[in-house]
Chains A and B, each alone.
Chain A
Amino acid sequence: MRLEIGSIFIRDVQFADATAVKDGVLYVDRAALAAAAAGEDERIKSVEVFLARPGESVRILPVKDVVEPRVKVAGPGGIFPGFTSNVEQVGSGRTHVLKGAAVVTTGKIVGFQEGIIDMQGPGAEYTPFSKTYNVVVKVEPIDSLKQHEHEVVVRLAGLRAAKYLGEAGRDVEPDEVRVYETKPLLEQVAEYPNLPKVAYVYMLQTQGLLHNTYYYGVDVKQIVPTFMYPTEAMDGAIVSGNCVSACDKNPTYVHLNSPVIEDLYAQHGKTINFIGCVVTNENVTLMDKERSSNMAAKLIGFLGADAVIISEEGFGNPDADLVMNCNKIEKQGIKTVLITDEYAGQDGASQSLADSTPLGNACVTAGNANEVVTLPPMEQVYGYPEVANVIAGGWDGSLAADGSITAEIQVITGATNELGFHKLTARGI
């Protein structure tokens, strides 16, 4: 599959009478965006839209998801297949991206595990989304909506909002076009016969309520591991199910810009032959873990990979999936590098993972999520600051009277992202 990604660099975002992209500025028709986000969903009571630019004294919480506006301008299918488009195979043709812009969904809290984005101050260092021009979409459901349905409502509203904004880039000449291509296996192997064949084991969190991920609209806990062309992710084949510990649940934005895929493509044809991805899950029962790790390892062996990167999502229970995948792949003589994060305690003194394997001798860490930070008050808060006391990583009293928040960096969206999207890491002292 060959996909051209045309990036339109966004350098500012402003409200205007009509939604458009002009000279690097994303103009947003506030009412039209709110209507697009709401769609026909009768479960939505209200949608409000705000703007948050890098460096502004703005805090967004609770953050549910971050989504990048994209539009398919050539080739089969549309963005977010299974949700805002039909389920044609995506990942080929041409896609335009409003690079630098993001939709951030907020609103009444669904679960305990939503995040914080600060646009300035120390918190901004920890989140990649302090550098994006954010269109904040605050979605309120009708009363008495149950948690599961509430999550669906905000997830779909965010995807619709991103799709609506992405359309503004359809006819804009991109500032940069990059081409990504992985061919059918036999052709791909033949193209670079002397380079090591590398695949990517893409673990997706699937632990149930508010811990889910979707692939072409399917709840990933219901799949067996499957092959994915890397470019499929760039068209929204993988969508976040919102609302898990904010630091290491992958927002949809990160799947669209899946960093391991990008960085493997940077070496594709030079030092490696990037033959594709295996998408797998992180279910909670042992039988599921055994089945999925067996299948993932089998597929990797079948592809003839010489080496793989395995990225985890979440922590604790999924550490077992990471270790099983690592063991079963290494035991076939295939080299692995793992990406994880750590829960070493606030003092950094505890063992960081819940499971371990001596075969996991090449591990990249995205940092200790238990580190405590104080986020100073911001002039503007979009959302509900009081949830700082209940979200994962906060505690009763995290929110001080002056509006500052003291909590573990677990509360910060993307702080310890295990796809390797960010620069935070940890070392032993």
Chain B
Amino acid sequence: MSKFRIVHYINQFYAGIGGEDKADVQPEKRDGIVGPGMAFRGALADVAEIVGTVFCGDNYMNDHSEEACATVLEMIRSYQPDLVLVGPAFNAGRYGMACGMVAKMVDENLHIPVVGGIYEENPGADMYRRYAYFVPTTNAASGMRKAVPEMAAMVKKVLAGEEIRDGYLKKGLRQNYFAEERGSKRAVDMLLKKINGEEFVTEYPMPVFDRVEPQPAIKDITKARIALVSSGGPVPKGNPDHIESSSASKFGKYCLKDIDDFTPENGQTAHGGYDPVYANQDLDRVLPLDVVKEMVRDGEIGSLHDYWYATVGNGTAVASAKKFAAAIAEQLLADHVDGVILTST
């Protein structure tokens, strides 16, 4: 029996082209193995062969995604693979996104399976997990030795057509199947377990809307210290921290002491998920700085915290958002802030 054909997608770093300075290189393909594919060779030897490697600079892939993906797809297609391997990307954000984009393109256009490796909190995992069997990895490349055999095992299972129930980041898809017992019988069985305090497994974990119980009201707002926080992307003109327009990997902290009113010259939005024109004309529309300063002057609010915090909610993984929120809250507490005006878009 001939071996299954695999194409491996990696970035410019793993292809040996270079690091951040080479992140703009355009897609290329090479026959056979390049870089980490070598580690897979032994593990897959009896069933599959990496017939080609496609690589691209992470910046190029993210900044020219449409064109880059189309080129990468054609390069992958040219090898007529049975499966595509991507990464492992660990916690490299742009590499993770690139692996995810490739997985999506392959899944939707070539209809062949994709196996990858990624750290669970990599934004690429959240956005693209449904398109591949992404084996969870550590957050750093030092986990390569562990990732390779796990990814290779997943490749073998997928190629063998085995039913795969675990060992990958759940795709977040609901799939129908016929159960052994009818629904009413399953309900009665589940009820008996629940009554008896035995372990039971719900068939549909209810979606969790992260509802936050409101804090008790501030008793005297004229003495309270208020801060401004936003996921609408309000940043100083020029976006000094380069907060991403989508899938933000960070938040910014900016001084507002010298600003009484936003103008087209001193503020803008970094958010790529809505029409930025009106925010860029007057950022007070997203972060109500002018009004709050007036209220402070008039004694209606005790004081305004000297800094505002901003990130971009657009396409940002919940895990990232939670991480930002915890860090921001910690700083606000340390600075004795009593209340926050939190704006979104």
Tell me if B64 is interfacial: C-beta within 8 Å of chain A: no
A309, B202: Cβ atoms under 8 Å? no
A262, B184: Cβ atoms under 8 Å? yes
Q: Which of B178, B187, B205 contacts A339 (CB 8 A)?
A: B187
B28-36, B154-162, B188-196 - the one binding chain A: B188-196
A263, B190: Cβ atoms under 8 Å? no
A54-62, A218-226, A414-422 - the one binding chain B: A414-422
* Residue among B175, B188, B192, B202 with max Cβ neighbours from chain A (10 Å): B188
Query: From residue 200 to 230 of chain B, which have CB atoms closer than 8 A to chain A?
Result: 200, 202-209
B184, A335: Cβ atoms under 8 Å? no
What residues of chain A lie closer than 8 Å to B206, measured between beta carbons? 353, 356-358, 360-361, 363
Residues 258-286 of A, flagged 1 when their CB comes within 8 A of B and 0 if not, give: 01101110110001100000000000000
CB B194 to nearest CB in A, in angstroms, measures 5
Bound together, the chains give a CA A269 to CA B63 distance in angstroms of 67
What residues of chain A lie closer than 8 Å to B205, measured between beta carbons? 363, 428
- 9 closest A-B pairs by beta carbon, nearest first, are A420-B183, A420-B184, A259-B184, A344-B174, A348-B174, A348-B173, A365-B204, A337-B191, A260-B184
Tell me if A198 is interfacial: C-beta within 8 Å of chain B: yes
Bound together, the chains give a CA A245 to CA B207 distance in angstroms of 24
Bound together, the chains give a CA A158 to CA B172 distance in angstroms of 43
What residues of chain B lie closer than 8 Å to A266, measured between beta carbons? 188
Q: Which of B175, B182, B200, B207 contacts A348 (CB 8 A)?
A: B175
What residues of chain A lie closer than 8 Å to B207, measured between beta carbons? 351-353, 356
Which residue of chain B is the closest to A417 with respect to CB atoms?
Answer: B183
Tell me if B179 is interfacial: C-beta within 8 Å of chain A: yes
Tell me if A146 is interfacial: C-beta within 8 Å of chain B: no
Query: From residue 167 to 186 of chain B, which have CB atoms closer than 8 A to chain A?
Result: 170-186
Q: Which of B180, B192, B200 contacts A423 (CB 8 A)?
A: B180
Tell me if B130 is interfacial: C-beta within 8 Å of chain A: yes
A174-182, A366-374, A376-384 - the one binding chain B: A366-374
Q: How large is the interface on B (under 10, 10 to 19, 20 to 34, 35 or more residues)?
A: 20 to 34
Sample of 15 more A-B contacts, CB < 8 Å, known A348-B173, A418-B183, A426-B175: A263-B187, A309-B191, A335-B195, A339-B187, A340-B204, A344-B174, A348-B174, A349-B174, A352-B174, A353-B206, A362-B202, A363-B202, A368-B175, A425-B176, A427-B203
A337, B208: Cβ atoms under 8 Å? no
CB B189 to nearest CB in A, in angstroms, measures 9
Q: How large is the interface on A (under 10, 10 to 19, 20 to 34, 35 or more residues)?
A: 35 or more
CB A65 to nearest CB in B, in angstroms, measures 20
What residues of chain A lie closer than 8 Å to B202, measured between beta carbons? 361-363
Tell me if A364 is interfacial: C-beta within 8 Å of chain B: yes
CB A70 to nearest CB in B, in angstroms, measures 20
Q: Which of B170, B191, B204, B208 contacts A358 (CB 8 A)?
A: B208
Tell me if A29 is interfacial: C-beta within 8 Å of chain B: no
19 A–B contacts from the bound complex (CB under 8 Å): A198-B191, A263-B182, A266-B188, A311-B187, A337-B194, A356-B208, A358-B206, A363-B202, A364-B204, A365-B204, A417-B183, A420-B183, A423-B180, A424-B176, A424-B177, A425-B203, A427-B174, A429-B170, A429-B171
CB B209 to nearest CB in A, in angstroms, measures 6
Which residue of chain A is the closest to B192 with respect to CB atoms?
Answer: A271
Q: Which of A307, A352, A366 contacts B183 (CB 8 A)?
A: A366
Bound together, the chains give a CA A352 to CA B207 distance in angstroms of 8
A367, B192: Cβ atoms under 8 Å? no
A420, B182: Cβ atoms under 8 Å? yes
Tell me if A12 is interfacial: C-beta within 8 Å of chain B: no
B194, A429: Cβ atoms under 8 Å? no
Bound together, the chains give a CA A419 to CA B182 distance in angstroms of 10
What residues of chain B lie closer than 8 Å to A352, measured between beta carbons? 174, 204, 207
CB A268 to nearest CB in B, in angstroms, measures 11
A429, B184: Cβ atoms under 8 Å? no
Residues of B within 8 A of A (CB): 130, 170-188, 190-192, 194-195, 200, 202-209
What residues of chain A lie closer than 8 Å to B178, measured between beta carbons? 125, 423-425
Bound together, the chains give a CA A421 to CA B179 distance in angstroms of 12
A428, B187: Cβ atoms under 8 Å? no
Tell me if A48 is interfacial: C-beta within 8 Å of chain B: no
CB A425 to nearest CB in B, in angstroms, measures 5
Indicate whether A367 sits within 8 Å of B176 (C-beta atoms), given known contacts A259-B182, A307-B194, A361-B206.
Answer: yes
Residues 329-360 of A, flagged 1 when their CB comes within 8 A of B and 0 if not, give: 00000010101101010011101110011101
Tell me if A288 is interfacial: C-beta within 8 Å of chain B: no
Bound together, the chains give a CA A313 to CA B190 distance in angstroms of 20
Bound together, the chains give a CA A344 to CA B209 distance in angstroms of 16
What residues of chain A lie closer than 8 Å to B180, measured between beta carbons? 423
What residues of chain A lie closer than 8 Å to B194, measured between beta carbons? 307, 335, 337, 362
Query: From residue 372 to 423 of chain A, which have CB atoms closer than 8 A to chain B?
Result: 409, 417-423
Indicate whether A429 sits within 8 Å of B182 (C-beta atoms), given known contacts A360-B206, A362-B200.
Answer: no
Tell me if A290 is interfacial: C-beta within 8 Å of chain B: no
Which residue of chain B is the closest to A361 with respect to CB atoms?
Answer: B202
CB A313 to nearest CB in B, in angstroms, measures 13
Tell me if A196 is interfacial: C-beta within 8 Å of chain B: yes
A429, B173: Cβ atoms under 8 Å? yes
What residues of chain A lie closer than 8 Å to B174, measured between beta carbons? 342, 344, 348-349, 352, 368, 426-429
Bound together, the chains give a CA A425 to CA B190 distance in angstroms of 15
Bound together, the chains give a CA A421 to CA B208 distance in angstroms of 28
* Residue among B172, B187, B190 with max Cβ neighbours from chain A (10 Å): B187
What residues of chain A lie closer than 8 Å to B181, measured between beta carbons? 423
Bound together, the chains give a CA A368 to CA B170 distance in angstroms of 17
What residues of chain B lie closer than 8 Å to A335, measured between beta carbons? 191, 194-195
CB B64 to nearest CB in A, in angstroms, measures 26
B173, A259: Cβ atoms under 8 Å? no
CB A335 to nearest CB in B, in angstroms, measures 5
CB B63 to nearest CB in A, in angstroms, measures 27
What residues of chain B lie closer than 8 Å to A356, measured between beta carbons? 206-209
Which residue of chain A is the closest to B209 with respect to CB atoms?
Answer: A356
Indicate whether A426 sits within 8 Å of B203 (C-beta atoms), given known contacts A337-B194, A364-B187.
Answer: yes
Bound together, the chains give a CA A282 to CA B46 distance in angstroms of 59
B176, A368: Cβ atoms under 8 Å? yes
Which residue of chain A is the closest to B175 with respect to CB atoms?
Answer: A429
A363, B203: Cβ atoms under 8 Å? yes
What residues of chain B lie closer than 8 Å to A363, measured between beta carbons? 202-206
CB B307 to nearest CB in A, in angstroms, measures 35
B176, A426: Cβ atoms under 8 Å? yes
CB A131 to nearest CB in B, in angstroms, measures 13
